[in-house]
Amino acid sequence: MKKNGKKVLLGMSGGVDSCVSAALLKKQGFDVRGVYLKMWKNDGEKGNAKAIEDAQKIAKILDIPLEIVDVQKKFKKEVVGYFLKEYLVGRTPNPCVFCNENLKFKTLFEMADKLGIDYVATGHYARIMKHETCSMKQKKYKLLEARDKNKDQSYFLYRLKQDQLARIIFPLGEIEKTEVKKLAKKFGLPVFDKKESQDVCFLANMPVEEFLTKNIKLKKGEIKNTKGEIVGEHLGLPLYTLGQRKGINIGGTGPYYVAKRDSKKNCLVVTNKKEDLFLFSKFANINEINWISTVPKFPAKVLARIRYRSSLVPAMIVMKHKKYEIQFDIAQRAVTAGQSVVFYNKKSEILGGGLIL
């Protein structure tokens, strides 16, 4: 196999996506070095050991070096700590977004720089495109949705910066998931039929409510309907999120949906109308915005996604008193504080994103 002279540091989790990424990069002539980031105990040490064993097995098959790096302390502080703090102040966070920014890619780039490695790669389903601006003849990089829209993970990557995109490779960006599994079998990788995790890694299939109950102090309070009538007692506001139906536990006249969390009064407001106007909003304030390629002129028309897997909706971003506000063409249900709203255009490009306030 002809070498291309370029070195790449690949994040390997032991799953089919990162393992096939390793095989594809090697086939393309890269000098591949794998790294397993030991972040959480998953199903206890046994779960961690299995993932490490799989990553080591694949590295041996592909004849690439693999380093195990323990980042558990940093993960607990930067990701789990952030997750719990957000719930405590009444927001519903998406930890994967900040894990990518503050742990995974940050650690990979630090290692790559230390080792003198050109590129960083992961098994994410997303694409990067290089383009040249007409005015300054400057090379810039665009982040695009993956070809496989069902597996696309661009929503979680909107905080990447230009200097990072210049050095990142996503080998699976143009490949369908079904094809990835076929390639794993073709390359002789014994992870082609491995079950995928669909949950936040540190929850390890534990309900969010159970995890929160074990890790933060909760205070009970009143549940009121939208007329102000007391209809029950909640177990602690962090256990509930806007639009939630299950787990409210008010008998009789339900089902009920969470319409509001009043932190000042420690009161949960509910409605028994699924399409209650309380649950809809045409506006949201946003902060911590990251623009990937260029900052647009305002007001800016975009397609917005208010949570992973939600549909793209036309919206306008405006500046008011040096603050950002997003205005949806159609009122959106359960626009939730703490979640990321990500901006796209009609060409599958991710323009940027921010946090809903």
Catalytic residues: 99, 201
Q: Could you give the CA distance from residue 301 to residue 318 in angstroms, rounded to a whole number?
A: 9
Q: Which two tokens stand for residue 267?
A: 């009161």
* Of 81, 69, 52, residue with least CA distance to 108: 69
Q: Which two tokens stand for residue 15?
A: 């799953």
* SS3 call for 157: helix
Torsion of CA 278, 298, 154, 8, to 10 degrees: -150
State the DSSP code for 22. Answer: H
Query: Which helix (H) or strand (E) is 183 found in, with range?
Result: helix 177-186
Distances (CA, A) of 306 to 107, 310, 331, 357: 28, 7, 12, 12
Q: Could you give the CA distance from residue 227 to residue 213 in angstroms, rounded to a whole number?
A: 29
* Of 147, 69, 132, 53, residue with least CA distance to 103: 69
